[in-house]
Structure 1
Amino acid sequence: MENNNSNNNKPKLYHGRRPVTRREFLASGAIPMMSYMIPSALMTTFAKAGIAQAQELCKIGEASKFPPIVNINANGGWWVAGNNIFLTEGRELLPSYGRNGLGSAANLVSQIVKTGHFKNQPPFYSGSGFLAGVQSGLVNGAASAALAKTNFVSMPLQSQNDSDTNKLAPFYLLQKAGLSGKILPNLGRTDNGIGVSNASAFGMSPAPLIVNNVDNIVNALGVGDRLAQLNQVQKTNMFKASQNLSFAQSRKLASLTGGSLLDRLLGQANADNTKLVENPAGLDLDPIMNAAFSAVWGLNANTTKNSEDYINASLIYNAINGNCGAVGIEVGGCDYHGSTLAATIIKDTEIGTLTGKILQSFAAMGSPGFIMINTDGSVGAPPSDIPGTDPTADRGDSSGIYMMYYDPTDVVQAPDSQVGHMKSDPEAEAADDKFLVGGNSEIATAAVFANFLAASGKMNLWSAIPETSRTFDSLQLEKILKFHGKAG
């Protein structure tokens, strides 16, 4: 008897079970078909929103047990050697810091401040705008309490002036170590595939989500979890709705991100599905919901969501909560040589104030946290014996990196507040580029990464990463590791 069931003669899209993995969906042709169905503008939006990333679509799991890390890039070469005072190999003052705007050692010595700020008492110039900023705060006592449990370590470094080619972005190494968010990738402010205006050290990490408004985070987070809540009929209706959109509708939807896009598509598919696109339970996204954290940044119901404080607070809040990976923040306007010292101090105070708010945020949330501040070059001044002269030119040979680690348990120690040193030549007033990290930005970034692992109690990961394990041997690690006290 002839079998009239023509379905038996059709090729099967899967064998034995329905496709589950991405590989199986690709083999079945389902994913390419959906890509064809959805207008290109929408596919671009899905990709930008992070929906296409496997990290986004996977079930929310426990975040990697790393403290949050924030990379601040002071774009343009800020007065990094005029705030913290870089020392010699023997941890003594240079005879003169005149080319760096701090005058002779004889005149500078009375203007060095070592107490009343960071736990390990690094030397700062008393006129430092950065120090003034980091000691300020909107909550009474918050700054001093945070600094009392924060160790500071600097690293003299020669870097290229006014260049985004310095390999100072640490995100690839952090990814290799396993740092990731529960549902979001890294967060950044600069849309260049990295998140800050630096080249990536050792390799490229996945592009961050660029945040210019807290709604970028709210709209992007939880999309995968929302999709998982839809049944097959609802998913089919959603894709049919996208297929039937006009060109004008497609263009309008292309301006949306993540959750907003999904909300609109579901509204097109079935107005009764609105309850399915509410924010997934357990995702704490908006800092305004935490009173103690909001107080640090001065946020209230009237604060605009695209203000600098609200944006940066949102980045830090989601990093602390584990929603995202690492955070990159760009501070522009640091190529200020040729202006007055007063203008220099204003910008340095801005960098210090931002740093202080981040440290106070860690304290408010009871979370450890690491900050890396880097820059492209630095500024210099005409030789003078008087501390505090106007910067007049770029001076990349006295650039550097700042590292800070807040430890709520107060276990981590950093008795030596400097990696590397200045040249022994009294006329140079420059970072020693013959030392391990003094002349190579990428190697210096590896040193920052090593100190982050040490502060986090995860030095066991160092040897498992080929790029870093061959950068320093065990004896060299002893010279660059400054944060101690955590096992691992």
Structure 2
Amino acid sequence: MKYISRREEILAKISDKAKADAASKAADDQVAINLAAAQPSLHADHPKPRTRRELLGAGLMSGLAYAMIPSIFTLTAQKAFAAPVCSKSGESTGAIKTPGYLHLELSGGLAMSGNFMIGKQGFGADFAPLASGGYAALGLGSSQIPGKVALDAAIKGQFHPASAFLAGMKSVMSAEAMAKTVAVGMAGTSADDSANNPLNPTQLVAKVNGLQGSLVQLVGSGSQPNTLGKTMPLNVAQDPGLAKAFIKDEASLTNLVNPGLIATRFNKKTDASNITAELAHQLSASKLAVLQNKDIPQDVKDLVECGYLGAKDLVNLSAAALTPSTDKIVSGTNFNALTFASLNKPNTPSQKGLIMGKLLVDGNASCATIEVDGCDYHGKGRVAQDAKDFICGQTVGIALEIAHRKAAPLFVALTSDGSVSSQGAGGAADRFDFTSDNGTHGMVMMIAIGSTERPNTKSLQIGAYNDAGAVDSTVASLTAKTAAAQALCIAYNYAAFSGRMAQFESTLSASGTANPFKGAESTYLAFEPKV
């Protein structure tokens, strides 16, 4: 048979070899309870957990292992394999061009406001402490309030010196990494113990950063189909077709696929991308034997260069490049006193921090979400509460330390459904137990590390608290009152940090959304826009 091009010949040969292979479907894989989670948080004033969200908040289960692989592989089984055009333009598909974005969803209402101090000062002003009674609601006694104790200076921000979250970060971060890191707090209420807080902006952020993950755009450890977290996504620039992969451990890194790359190479011609995606998928099994050879045939090289082979095939070719345990920069040096092996325990937040941090810093994913369960911890005592805060801080610190070791920027956001309150009793060292849900003490945290130096900020705080230790709804009122505005503000500040303000505006415009912060930069834009 004669072929009109080398490309057509390659595709025809692959089709003949692999036409018996059926398109694979995403499979559910139940995840065991997170090994590092605290004991289940069951409360007499809460109904018995029944829904998945309630179980997560109580720490009774962790995210379901959905491999969120788009099903375009099944769309072209009956189509003729016409050869689409590939220019082989040499366009790079390697390292990400903008900073990665890591989102931690803390299920149940973590006491972020007991770790990062929100004051009552205005935007960009020096820290102004609350009245002492307000700090009691945040778990701090009179000897522990800011003014009596100095805020910690190891990381630029407003961390309390006894913050367990900060201690977790310090447990794994070098002094050099901390010196390049800044933390910003945003005061804002959200519904307690609810999956209906649209706090995850990962799809918008992926669009803002130009969909530059070289293997996949979104990775996560939860089962929410649009974000791979647990909470509702921000309903701006949603695109269910973005390439996603559930990641629970190093083995699940093979879930990564790249249909988006194929579509991009063919200028979004659906038929062409479907055909080649089918061929790439069919190739996987039969190609493995060939790839065992030291010399990869030219036809495979051509297909990779043309974008005909997706990430699944590339993973088979060099899986070691994706796993933290085989990356000597990550695994070859202890994280302070902690060994890599001690942090790389299966199904723990610390392992997810290692995996997601590496994927983002290496440019293999645009955005990642880590779902940390068991944060509905009020009534469990200060020891258990501090332990969970420490784990969350350690997870963030691991990702930031990886970014530092690889001289890459990284942006981290932390959200939780509601918050907690203290009655000013219990605990130890004048730090009180948290006893009940209370979303009026809520906040969002944004933490960023620069590639060579600390990112510039105009303020360490967005919004404010009042003297009662609650969100002041008259200051930065958009984000103070609305979870969706908080998520949008996270993306807004990410855009400034990454130098993508124009892309933020154009993405909002394309989705028919006005920028509510325009003209109010001195209230909502804490990060100095990168030029």
TM-score after normalising by structure 1: 0.74
Pick which of 145-154 and 284-293 moved more.
284-293
**Is 2:109 the partner of 1:109?**
no
CA distance in 1 between partners of 2:489 and 2:342 (Å): 42
Decide whether aligned partners of structure 1 residues 307 and 265 sit closer, same or farther in structure 2, where only a CA change above 3 A counts. Answer: farther
Pick which of 410-419 and 147-156 moved more.
410-419
**SS of 2:105's equivalent?**
strand
Report if the CA contact (8 A) 1:88-1:422 is conserved.
Answer: yes
| Residue 126 (structure 1) aligns with | 161
In the TM superposition, residue 172 of structure 1 has moved relative to its aligned partner by: 2.1
**SS of 2:222's equivalent?**
coil
**SS of 2:145's equivalent?**
helix
Q: How does 1:236-315 map to 2 (within 5 A)?
A: 263-264=284-285, 266=287, 275=293, 279-280=316-317, 284-294=321-331, 295=333, 298-299=339-340, 308-315=349-356
Quote the sequence identity (%). Answer: 23
**Is 2:366 the partner of 1:343?**
no
Decide whether aligned partners of structure 1 residues 44 and 155 sit closer, same or farther in structure 2, where only a CA change above 3 A counts. Answer: closer
Q: Match of 2:140, as an amino acid? A: L
**SS of 2:366's equivalent?**
coil
Decide whether aligned partners of structure 1 residues 111 and 357 sit closer, same or farther in structure 2, where only a CA change above 3 A counts. Answer: farther
| Residue 482 (structure 1) aligns with | 526
In the TM superposition, residue 341 of structure 1 has moved relative to its aligned partner by: 0.9
Decide whether aligned partners of structure 1 residues 286 and 447 sit closer, same or farther in structure 2, where only a CA change above 3 A counts. Answer: same
**Is 2:244 the partner of 1:208?**
yes
Report if the CA contact (8 A) 1:432-1:439 is conserved.
Answer: no
**SS of 1:405's equivalent?**
strand
Q: Match of 1:127, as an amino acid? A: A
In the TM superposition, residue 49 of structure 1 has moved relative to its aligned partner by: 4.0
Q: How does 1:44-443 map to 2 (within 5 A)?
A: 48-50=68-70, 52=72, 61-62=93-94, 64-90=96-122, 91-95=127-131, 96=133, 97-104=135-142, 108-119=145-156, 122-137=157-172, 142-177=173-208, 178-193=210-225, 194-203=227-236, 204-205=238-239, 206=242, 208-218=244-254, 220=256, 263-264=284-285, 266=287, 275=293, 279-280=316-317, 284-294=321-331, 295=333, 298-299=339-340, 308-383=349-424, 387-410=430-453, 412-423=455-466, 426-427=467-468, 429-434=469-474, 435-443=477-485
How big is each residue's C-alpha offset from its partner over 1:15-40, in whole Å with a ceiling of 9 and x where there is no partner? x99999xxxx9xxxxx9xxx997657
Decide whether aligned partners of structure 1 residues 340 and 285 sit closer, same or farther in structure 2, where only a CA change above 3 A counts. Answer: same
Report if the CA contact (8 A) 2:424-2:432 is conserved.
Answer: no
CA distance in 1 between partners of 2:73 and 2:199 (Å): 25
CA distance in 1 between partners of 2:340 and 2:369 (Å): 21
In the TM superposition, residue 187 of structure 1 has moved relative to its aligned partner by: 0.8
CA distance in 1 between partners of 2:444 and 2:455 (Å): 20
Report if the CA contact (8 A) 1:158-1:440 is conserved.
Answer: yes
CA distance in 1 between partners of 2:386 and 2:111 (Å): 9
How big is each residue's C-alpha offset from its partner over 1:94-153, in whole Å with a ceiling of 9 and x where there is no partner? 21222222245x75135534343113xx3332321111111112xxxx432111111110
Q: Match of 1:390, as an amino acid? A: D
CA distance in 1 between partners of 2:21 and 2:417 (Å): 43
In the TM superposition, residue 167 of structure 1 has moved relative to its aligned partner by: 0.7
Decide whether aligned partners of structure 1 residues 47 and 262 sit closer, same or farther in structure 2, where only a CA change above 3 A counts. Answer: farther
CA distance in 1 between partners of 2:152 and 2:512 (Å): 35
Decide whether aligned partners of structure 1 residues 329 and 468 sit closer, same or farther in structure 2, where only a CA change above 3 A counts. Answer: farther
Pick which of 81-90 and 383-392 moved more.
383-392
Pick which of 293-302 and 456-465 moved more.
293-302
Report if the CA contact (8 A) 2:372-2:392 is conserved.
Answer: yes
Report if the CA contact (8 A) 1:225-1:280 is conserved.
Answer: no
Report if the CA contact (8 A) 2:350-2:398 is conserved.
Answer: no
Pick which of 62-71 and 464-473 moved more.
464-473
CA distance in 2 between partners of 1:459 and 1:327 (Å): 21
Pick which of 463-472 and 400-409 moved more.
463-472
Report if the CA contact (8 A) 1:113-1:123 is conserved.
Answer: no
In the TM superposition, residue 51 of structure 1 has moved relative to its aligned partner by: 7.1
CA distance in 2 between partners of 1:282 and 1:303 (Å): 17
CA radius of gyration, larger in? 1
In the TM superposition, residue 439 of structure 1 has moved relative to its aligned partner by: 0.8
In the TM superposition, residue 274 of structure 1 has moved relative to its aligned partner by: 5.2
Decide whether aligned partners of structure 1 residues 468 and 158 sit closer, same or farther in structure 2, where only a CA change above 3 A counts. Answer: farther
Report if the CA contact (8 A) 2:357-2:400 is conserved.
Answer: no
| Residue 53 (structure 2) aligns with | none
- Aligned CA-pair RMSD: 4.1
CA distance in 1 between partners of 2:401 and 2:201 (Å): 23
In the TM superposition, residue 285 of structure 1 has moved relative to its aligned partner by: 1.2
**SS of 1:460's equivalent?**
helix
Decide whether aligned partners of structure 1 residues 102 and 292 sit closer, same or farther in structure 2, where only a CA change above 3 A counts. Answer: same
TM-score after normalising by structure 2: 0.69
CA distance in 2 between partners of 1:89 and 1:301 (Å): 41
How big is each residue's C-alpha offset from its partner over 1:156-179, in whole Å with a ceiling of 9 and x where there is no partner? 110111111111111121133123
CA distance in 2 between partners of 1:347 and 1:468 (Å): 40
Report if the CA contact (8 A) 2:152-2:160 is conserved.
Answer: no
**SS of 2:196's equivalent?**
coil
Decide whether aligned partners of structure 1 residues 483 and 308 sit closer, same or farther in structure 2, where only a CA change above 3 A counts. Answer: closer
In the TM superposition, residue 87 of structure 1 has moved relative to its aligned partner by: 0.7
**SS of 1:92's equivalent?**
coil
| Residue 459 (structure 1) aligns with | 501
| Residue 11 (structure 1) aligns with | none
**Which ranges of structure 1 fall in alignment gaps of 5 or more residues?**
1-15, 26-30, 229-235, 241-257
How big is each residue's C-alpha offset from its partner over 1:430-468, in whole Å with a ceiling of 9 and x where there is no partner? 112342211111111111111111111222223212259
CA distance in 2 between partners of 1:411 and 1:185 (Å): 26
CA distance in 2 between partners of 1:219 and 1:337 (Å): 36
CA distance in 2 between partners of 1:172 and 1:156 (Å): 23
Decide whether aligned partners of structure 1 residues 296 and 376 sit closer, same or farther in structure 2, where only a CA change above 3 A counts. Answer: farther
In the TM superposition, residue 263 of structure 1 has moved relative to its aligned partner by: 4.6
CA distance in 1 between partners of 2:334 and 2:522 (Å): 37
In the TM superposition, residue 61 of structure 1 has moved relative to its aligned partner by: 2.1
Report if the CA contact (8 A) 1:112-1:123 is conserved.
Answer: no
Report if the CA contact (8 A) 1:161-1:395 is conserved.
Answer: yes
Q: Match of 2:181, as an amino acid? A: T
